[in-house]
Amino acid sequence: MSDTLNQRQIQWFPGHMAKTLRLIGTELKKVDAVLVLLDARIPASSLNPEIEALLGDKPRIYLLNKSDLADPAVTSRWLARFRSEHSACVAVSSKKKGAAAGVKAEVDRALAPLLARREEKGISGAQIRLMLVGIPNVGKSTFINCFAGGQRAKAEDRPGVTRGKQWVTAGKYDLLDMPGVLWKKFEEPRTAVNLAFIGSIKDDILDVEEIAAELLEEVKRLYPDKLAQRYKLRSEQLELERYELLEAIGKNRGMLISGGEVDLSRAAITVLDEFRASKLGAISLESPETACFPTRGEESR
């Protein structure tokens, strides 16, 4: 399936994403630092190597967003991993009040040399300008709303909501919201699948049954108890092959079509929706010990 996804690269990298990438390049000169939003459930797969390469030496802070949906124990290991590579990193839940305070402190810390220079020059009142970048649907606009207060940027539960750049002022900070951007070719086949699981690739270009069956396989491997509990699966059902498992779930939920067959497509949509809405509980799909993850300096190669 991953091959199929890779063959469809044109559809998930439409023209507006190439445009956004160019926009990031030009706007970069105008900002003091970049906030790179990652999805805490898949920090490696949500790290865009093309953005990394563009950022160069610009101060950056990685935000593990949607950390309310991720396994806290795995998130702390990711924080340690980023920090061990001298990258500032904060776990964030943008939908929760007060989530921005930790990020503001981290920004001020990362920009301490710049702020000291401004103080010397007598321009300490100058705005701190931050650009937000990340894959579609990772929560950039929601984060801005949480940082600035109120509904300042449009945020919705689907990829591709923000279409152009937008500046939002929050006290001494100016934030630049950007459209989400993916990259043309995924080095690791798992990347495309992980992005599909969390809803960063539009479902209408995906085979949802295949994605749901693959997700079940992954959750079964990592959190079998959560899967069994959510779908009331007996231990022998957990042993089923992935499509049979999807079928069993549809059956348990009474999703039948005429003739008594299970409506696999409905079951698949349910599994994906419920995973994305965190109905199975907090789940991390990537850990720093096993994920293929570029270290700083490697990314521009």
In 232-292, which residue ranges form alpha helices assigned H by DSSP?
235-238, 242-252, 264-276
Task: Please report whether residue 261 would count as binding ligand GTP according to CB under 6 A.
Answer: no
| 175 and 144 Cβ atoms separated by less than 8 Å | yes
Residue from the set 6, 9, 13, 68 that interacts with ligand GTP by CB under 6 A: 68
Task: Please report whether residue 161 would count as binding Mg ion according to CB under 5 A.
Answer: yes
From 123-131, 136-144, 164-172, 283-291, give the range in contact with ligand GTP by CB under 6 A: 136-144
From 10-18, 137-145, 236-244, 257-265, give the range in contact with Mg ion by CB under 5 A: 137-145
From 109-117, 135-143, 166-174, 223-231, give the range in contact with ligand GTP by CB under 6 A: 135-143
Residue 20 interacting partner from ligand GTP, Mg ion, none (CB closer than 5 to 8 Å by kind): none
How far is CA 211 from each of CA 1, 161, 208, 218, 264, rounded to the nearest angstrom?
8, 22, 5, 11, 12
Task: Please report whether residue 273 would count as binding ligand GTP according to CB under 6 A.
Answer: no
Per-residue b or e along 91-116, where b marks 16 or more CB atoms closer than 10 Å to that residue's CB? bbbbbeeebbeebbebbeebbeeebe
Task: Please report whether residue 41 would count as binding ligand GTP according to CB under 6 A.
Answer: no
Which residue in the block uniquely carries the two structure tokens 């409905």? 266
Question: One-letter amino acid identity for 145?
Answer: N
Structure tokens at 165: 């750049």
From 47-55, 137-145, 216-224, 232-240, give the range in contact with ligand GTP by CB under 6 A: 137-145
DSSP state of 295: P
Q: How far, in Å, CA of 157 to CA of 35, rounded?
A: 21
By beta carbon distance, the residue nearest ligand GTP is 180
Task: Between 118 and 202, name the residue whose CB sits nearer to ligand GTP.
Answer: 202
Binding stretches for Mg ion (CB under 5 A)? 140-141, 161-162
Binding stretches for ligand GTP (CB under 6 A)? 65-66, 68-69, 93-95, 134, 136-142, 155-157, 159-162, 179-180
